Structure 1
Amino acid sequence: MADAALRLKNLVEQLLAAPLPLRLRAWDGSEAGPPGAPALVVRNRRALRRLLWKPGELGLARAWVAGDLGIEGDLYTALDLLAGLIWERGDDARTLAQALRDPAFRAAVRGLAKLAGPFPPPPPPREEARKLRGHLHTRHSDRRAVSHHYDVGNDFYEIVLGPSMVYSCAYWDSPDGTLEDAQRDKLELVCRKLGLKPGQRLLDVGCGWGSMAIHAAREHGVSVVGITLSQEQAAYARKRVADEGLTDRVEIRVQDYRDVTDGPYDAISSIGMAEHVGSERYLEYARALLALLKPGGRLLNHQIGRRPQRDETTYSVDAFIDAYVFPDGELAPLGTTVTQLERAGFEVRDVESLREHYALTLRQWVTNLEEQWERAQRLTGPGRARVWRLYMAASALAFERNRIGVNQVLAVRTPEPGASGLPLRARTWN
């Protein structure tokens, strides 16, 4: 079969009703498609079987994770072309049900099935998260989901995140700046928005590897309780706290936010954690944090948000992200987040979008991973390393194309008779 690439290209274009902007390289060495474009490498016919059994994003993801598919050339360019072809076709894209009524589409499916060879469904790569039965976002399911994502190994995260070990959007002064400076500036921005002063108590919800807790205690003289559901994160954070000589001011706990009872706190930071809460639990989350704050206390909620859908009742979580990256994660529109915080009793005082900042951060994380690719694969396995490279590169493009954003929402437990305690001029953060 010396013409597999050309046959595959013609079938794919027939299925998509659009020209394929990438080159195709097939398992027989044949190539087809525009010269000079990045190449989608189909290493075996099993990749086609994955796509036939799971059409769409999940089939593509499984083939990528298993190594059945690859990209030759610039990864961002390839993903950008694929995004415009598959994920962002809007109202012009046919649903599968509509497409199956088209005789030409059905003929292309039959041709793809013939090209794919023997037809049993390949098992998913082992890195795929197994779903639990029952309700989402119980204490047990949240702990399991967090472990899937964060207990990959601290050595692996050191490669990706660099010395700062901050796993959230950095705050860049310039695209030419360093990741370390940008992450330091982000932590300082959060501290200033919270108005931290020596002697105050800070609760850091989803404390990760301890970077925010350490920065706040060392630079602003506060006492910090950091909570996480990840045992590996907690062990790493405690060692960092000890190495900094801050054990008298920083406590790291493995604890669910629903189980914190030692308030009140002067301030709460929640950085990149609320995405795990879920829409069903979000009001509960907001009320729990409000109850832990002193009157006049501030919450800084740093959270990824998606664009609103035409019909919010039909929104589903990204299949690849849900299966391989953040099981049970949910993204809400910014307006929904603000509304829920206000329903809980907060007064929302400031919203700042950092969308472009996250794109820059993700591109640097991808560079870090690629520079130590062989070591990363040894530490976590080839499949998981491929998951991370695809997820971070695709996410960078999603931020750049305004498909998703990230926002810092500053909210206050405003006391009676209504003085918030914030400065009269916005964003001086004193």
Structure 2
Amino acid sequence: MPARPELRLDRRALARLAGPLLCLGVFGPPPAPPPEEARLGGIRHSLGRDRSAISHHYDVGNDFHRVLLGPSLVYSCAYFPEPPATLEQAQEAKLDLVCRKLDLRPGMRLVDVGCGWGSLALHAAARYGSSVTGVTISAAQAELATRRVAEAGLSELVEIRLQDYREVVDGPFDAIASIGMAEHVGLAQLPRYAARLHVLLRPSDRLLHHAIARGPAAGPDRPDPGSFRTRYVFPDGELQPLATHVRILEDAGFEVADVEALRRHYALTCRAWVSNVEHRWDEAVRLSSPGRARVWRLYLAGSALAFEGHRVGVNQVLAIQPGSSGHDRLPLTRPDWSRRAVEGAHEPSDGAA
């Protein structure tokens, strides 16, 4: 077998090769991570680290989120009473569905844990006359939510706080809403979360716990620090099966009164959000960055496919805090909570969202 010829490169050939290799980052220190990547420090799910994670996810820019979410500024699963309903009608229906499940009435105290841009607080105050405390650890959300409350003339009924739910001490409340917030808590902290809400709720009153869940065969979420979702969109976020949420609520002393699955609704919601971004793409890029806009479009398109493919779901769990007498206001048969939501989906918002 003939010997292979020996490859020899002179200095000029090596220099010609070195330029492209340097551009590709083969030599020298690794490239800096892109600005869209989350970089968190500290103990996982500590107050400080949670604030950093929430800031990465929500403080992209309020104007960017207006493009993404539409005028409702609701970043959680909508409720489509009929397929022709618009996203705005479906979000209005979802807000009303939550209020009906909580049986809100004038003068009742509601705490909205993870209140976002204040849409539920505005709806509960304007439509039901409830006194609402909204808490969020996103500075951008708190600033805009406070402004929306003032513009709606509801400052006497609604207070928005830049505060962690673990720091709320002025209970008990007549109702608690936790909409799309438990995903940020983490499995290790969920028992503490449920116990805290149990303390904040009056006996015989209601909690509406609305959370994304992994598919029934998926088991607990094991966050992968190298995954796209964790690195770029949802740092420290964890999704648990519905059974885990129910068990932890019951362990904290709640009685689960009703569970409603909204998986197909969230698929429709995510597709509507993707459509919003694509129809206003140049504006979305201008308000964030080309990389950030691409990250969110990809994330939401992938989320729509995950909901459609049964890999994840979303559920509303209505739980009560049993009173000393065992009495509560729940009727003996399951109410048609959707009836008012369907009607409300086609009504003006009266300053809500």
TM-score by length of 2: 0.85
Amino acid across the alignment from 1:316: P
| Structure 2: distance between partners of 1:117 and 1:327 | 28
1:96-129 deviations in Å (ceiling 9; x for gaps): xxxxxxxxxxxxxxxxxx9x97745554322111
1:229-248 equivalences under 5 Å are 229-248=137-156
The match for 2:222 is: 315
> 389, 396, 409: which one pairs with 2:297?
389
1:11-70 deviations in Å (ceiling 9; x for gaps): xxxxxxxxxxxxxxxxxxxxxxxxxxxxxxxxxxxxxxxxxxxxxxxxxxxxxxxxxxxx
Amino acid across the alignment from 2:101: K
The match for 2:104 is: 196
Amino acid across the alignment from 1:129: A
Amino acid across the alignment from 2:35: R
Shift of 1:311: 6.5
1:230-379 equivalences under 5 Å are 230-309=138-217, 312=220, 315-317=222-224, 319-379=227-287
> 108, 112, 115: which one pairs with 1:207?
115
Amino acid across the alignment from 2:201: L
| Structure 2: distance between partners of 1:410 and 1:371 | 36
Q: How many percent identity over aligned positions? A: 58
* CA distance 1:169–1:155, shift in 2 (3 Å): same
Kindly indicate whether the alpha-carbon contact (under 8 Å) linking 1:317 and 1:330 is maintained by their aligned counterparts in 2: no
SS in 1 for 2:240: coil
Amino acid across the alignment from 1:315: R
The match for 1:59 is: none
Kindly indicate whether the alpha-carbon contact (under 8 Å) linking 1:304 and 1:331 is maintained by their aligned counterparts in 2: yes
1:111-130 equivalences under 5 Å are 119=26, 122-130=31-39
SS in 2 for 1:146: helix
SS in 1 for 2:260: strand
Establish whether residue 403 from structure 1 lines up as the match of residue 323 from structure 2.
no
Kindly indicate whether the alpha-carbon contact (under 8 Å) linking 1:175 and 1:360 is maintained by their aligned counterparts in 2: no
SS in 1 for 2:92: helix
SS in 2 for 1:130: coil
Unaligned segments of structure 2, at least 5 residues: 1-20, 341-353
| Structure 2: distance between partners of 1:427 and 1:163 | 30
The match for 2:324 is: 416
Amino acid across the alignment from 2:38: A
Shift of 1:171: 0.1
* CA distance 1:197–1:320, shift in 2 (3 Å): same
Amino acid across the alignment from 1:157: H
Amino acid across the alignment from 2:223: S
Kindly indicate whether the alpha-carbon contact (under 8 Å) linking 1:317 and 1:329 is maintained by their aligned counterparts in 2: no
| Structure 2: distance between partners of 1:361 and 1:370 | 14
* CA distance 1:373–1:423, shift in 2 (3 Å): same
Shift of 1:418: 1.9
Kindly indicate whether the alpha-carbon contact (under 8 Å) linking 1:377 and 1:385 is maintained by their aligned counterparts in 2: yes
| Structure 2: distance between partners of 1:259 and 1:252 | 14
Ranked by relative contact order (alpha carbons within 8 Å, sequence separation 6 or more), the top structure is 2
* CA distance 1:200–1:311, shift in 2 (3 Å): closer
How many equivalent residue pairs? 314
Amino acid across the alignment from 2:76: S
| Structure 1: distance between partners of 2:325 and 2:110 | 24
TM-align CA RMSD: 1.9
Establish whether residue 139 from structure 1 lines up as the match of residue 85 from structure 2.
no
1:189-211 deviations in Å (ceiling 9; x for gaps): 00000000111000000000000
The match for 1:98 is: none
1:165-184 equivalences under 5 Å are 165-184=73-92
Shift of 1:308: 4.3
* CA distance 1:154–1:422, shift in 2 (3 Å): same
Amino acid across the alignment from 1:237: A
* CA distance 1:117–1:124, shift in 2 (3 Å): closer
Shift of 1:131: 3.0
TM-score by length of 1: 0.70
Amino acid across the alignment from 1:169: C
| Structure 1: distance between partners of 2:72 and 2:25 | 49
SS in 1 for 2:161: strand
Amino acid across the alignment from 1:124: P
* Higher helix proportion (structure 1 or 2): 1
| Structure 1: distance between partners of 2:332 and 2:70 | 38
